[in-house]
Amino acid sequence: MKMNELDELHHFVNDLYERWDEGDISYDDAVKKARLYMRKENHKKYTESVNRILDKFNITEKEFYDRSLASLRNNKYAYPNFVISHGDRDSYTEVLYFDGDDGRAIISNNCEIFDEEGCQIKLHECNYCDFEWETIQDIFNILQEVEEYADE
């Protein structure tokens, strides 16, 4: 969170505490208001995160959600289900992979530890993401080919 967001949260919580302490609001109501505030903040962050993905990978919001649930809805994105954002001199190539069950991962040829000998995998707004061996190998091959081409 940015400092002004922390300040805003701090003031909100202090206001709730003071209202509860003075008897203006019940404990249960204060907790409900705090939870609602956090849900709104989490939704805002999620929306901002998805919008960054839409821009980076040049896909629509509809395509994003269709791909996210492709295996559940058996739609045209069922397999293979990934989108590539090609890098340039100043950025890395990344693959946005959807497991079709609301799991998403961003696989990048930007590897802090192993340099060009590895890749980085980040989950996107989920707790897990499943891969078929063949699909993850295809993605690794794409990233390795891009890396080799960039070295030439």
Residues 93 and 130 in one domain: yes
Mean per-residue pLDDT, 119-134? 93
- Classify residue 95 as exposed, middle or buried by CB count within 10 Å of its CB (0-12, 13-18, 19+): buried
- Percent above pLDDT 90 for the chain: 36
Supply the range of the domain harboring residue 21.
3-55
Of 35, 55, 75, which marks where a domain is finished? 55
Residues 14 and 68 in one domain: no
This prediction's pTM: 0.74
Residues 102 and 79 in one domain: yes
Spatial separation of the C-alpha atoms in residues 73 and 68, rounded to whole Å: 10
Residues 50 and 66 in one domain: no
Q: Residue 21 — very low, low, confident or very high, per pLDDT cuts 50/70/90?
A: confident
CA 24-30-36 angle, to 5 degrees, is 140
Residues 68 and 131 in one domain: yes
Domain count across the chain: 2
Residues 132 and 79 in one domain: yes
Q: By 3-state DSSP, what share of the chain in percent is helix, strand and coil, each rounded to 5?
A: 55, 10, 35
> What's the pLDDT score for residue 19?
84
